[in-house]
Amino acid sequence: MISVSPSPAGFRVAALYRFCRLERFAELRAPLFAFCQERGIKGTLLLAREGINGTVSGTEAAIASLVAHLEAMPEFAGLEVKYSNSSEIPFHRMKVRLKREIVTMGQPDVDPLTDAGAYVAAEDWNALISDPDTVLIDTRNDYEVTLGTFEGAINPRTAKFGEFPAWFEAQQADFKGKKVAMFCTGGIRCEKATAYVKSLGIDEVFHLKGGILKYLEEVRSDDSLWRGECFVFDERVSVSHGLAVGEAQLCRACRHPVTPEERKSLKFQEGISCERCFDSRSGADRARFAERQKQVELAARRGAGRHIGS
Active site residues: 184
**Best CA proximity match to 25, nearest among 56, 54, 53, 51:** 51
Q: What are the distances in angstroms from CA 126 to CA 57, 211, 226?
A: 31, 13, 10
**Helix, strand, coil % over all residues of the chain, rounded to 5:** 35, 25, 40
Amino acid at 91: F
Indicate the burial class of 53 (C-beta count within 10 angstroms; 0-12, 13-18, 19 or more).
buried
The amino acid occupying position 136 is L
Quote the CA–CA distance of 208 and 124 in Å, as a whole number.
9
Dist. CA 257–CA 238, nearest whole Å = 8
Helical ranges in the chain per DSSP H = 25-38, 60-71, 112-115, 122-129, 142-145, 164-171, 188-199, 211-218, 283-301
End-to-end CA distance of the chain: 24
Helix (H) or strand (E) holding 137: strand 134-138
Distances (CA, A) of 149 to 46, 68, 234: 26, 33, 19
